[in-house]
Amino acid sequence: DGDDGGQTFPDIFTVIIPELAPTVGFDQHNPHHCYDVWTHTAHAVQAGPAEEVLRLALLLHDIAKTYTIRHGGSHAQLGAAWVREETGNPALAQAVLWHVSWPWQDGPLDDAADPFRLPVIIAYADKRVRHNEVVTLEERFEDLMVRYGIDDERKARITGYLNRTKAVEKAIFDKIGAF
């Protein structure tokens, strides 16, 4: 449909949301990221669902990454605080906060129990994108294992995230069908 997720228009987005300006051309200082923060964000927006709130959450999910690379801290936590303060939207802030991983398992907050909560959808979409392409969970987590599985503890954590994300994917597909 010609939608590039805003990749070719960072100058427009950064006028509307000046906090995005530092992401343009900013190297993620990680040999496993082939794109600057802005281009990664644009690919995520492009690969995400067409719903406006989901695209906005994807646009903002790494808004604090440049600051935390320079000064330390959690880009998800700092970004969520900014989004909450600037937008007044707690659901959008929650999507930014939990885009790396959803912390609850089992019970009413289990991500697979209600996979259509905004943060769960954003976390799921984030796990389906590798660099600039939408891939299967197996492909994405194989890539994560190669890049970050440097010891048994991290391998176990990545495997646990894969299993949780598969449960979320199954819950989504059970409700809407596979695409």
> pLDDT value at position 1?
44
| Mean pLDDT calculated for residue range 121-146 | 83
Percent of the chain surpassing pLDDT 70: 80
Q: Average pLDDT of 63-76?
A: 87
Query: What pLDDT was estimated at residue 77?
Result: 92
Q: For 137-165, how does the pLDDT look when each residue is reduced to its tens digit (9 = 90+)?
A: 999 899 889 888 889 998 998 999 899 88
pLDDT for position 68: 85
Which candidate, 13, 115, 108, places its Cα nearest to that of 58? Answer: 13
Summarize pLDDT for 70-96 with one digit per residue, the tens: 898 888 899 999 999 999 998 889 888
7-16, 94-103, 163-172: which has the highest mean pLDDT?
A: 163-172
Per-residue pLDDT at 131 exceeds 80: no
- Locus of tokens 């790396």: 100
SS3 104: coil
- pLDDT confidence band for 36 (50 / 70 / 90): confident
If phi over 0 gives left and psi between -120 and 50 gives alpha, with beta otherwise, what is residue 117?
beta
H-run or E-run covering 15: helix 10-16
